[in-house]
Amino acid sequence: MTLKTIEGTFIAPKGRFALVVGRFNSFVVESLVSGAVDTLVRHGVSESDITLIRAPGAFEIPLVAQKIAQRSEFDAIIALGAVIRGGTPHFEYVAGECTKGLAQVSMEFGVPVAFGVLTVDSIEQAIERSGTKAGNKGAEAALSALEMVSLLAQLEAK
């Protein structure tokens, strides 16, 4: 049995990418930004097709992403940030609302929103996921955005 398969590629499409970045925990987030930009450029995206938009923190990222998606100017949004667990329930609220808000933006506007917001228990985990032992989640989010833009283009062409 041969199944017809449709899947995205990592080949840079013609398109524009918005990086929506929370400034809070910038010591980690800047590594995510570097990883995402490097990945996009290595896959053929021109730096002039990448726009960096900074939000105060992870909680504010979904609203900024929504405003960007409304403008239909970008083919994908890459959300980058870091929420590190502390001693209060604040972590759950911020991480949960950021996640739900970004999913809502993607579904409402039909724009891929790649999730590169770290939600971790410790600073050590954040550092590991921003370019050391556990890879760079910003780079992974950029790959996801590339693949989704390619996949949606194929689905819309059918």
Which residues form the catalytic set?
90
Tokens coding 148:
């989704």
Instruction: Say if residue 24 carries a ligand binding annotation.
Output: yes
Instruction: Say if residue 88 carries a ligand binding annotation.
Output: yes
Instruction: Say if residue 59 carries a ligand binding annotation.
Output: yes
Tokens coding 54:
């900074």
Distance set, CA 26 to CA 23, 98, 104, 115, 149 (Å): 5, 17, 25, 17, 28
HSE-CB for 76 with a 13 A CA cutoff: 31
Instruction: Say if residue 74 carries a ligand binding annotation.
Output: no
Q: Cβ(85)–Cβ(120) under 8 Å?
A: yes
Q: Cβ(51)–Cβ(74) under 8 Å?
A: yes
Instruction: Say if residue 84 carries a ligand binding annotation.
Output: yes
Instruction: Say if residue 27 carries a ligand binding annotation.
Output: no
Instruction: Say if residue 42 carries a ligand binding annotation.
Output: no
Binding-site annotation: residue ranges: 24, 58-60, 82-84, 87-88, 115, 129
Binding-site annotation: residue ranges for (2S)-2-hydroxy-3-oxobutyl phosphate: 87-88, 129
Binding-site annotation: residue ranges for 5-amino-6-(D-ribitylamino)uracil: 24, 58-60, 82-84, 115
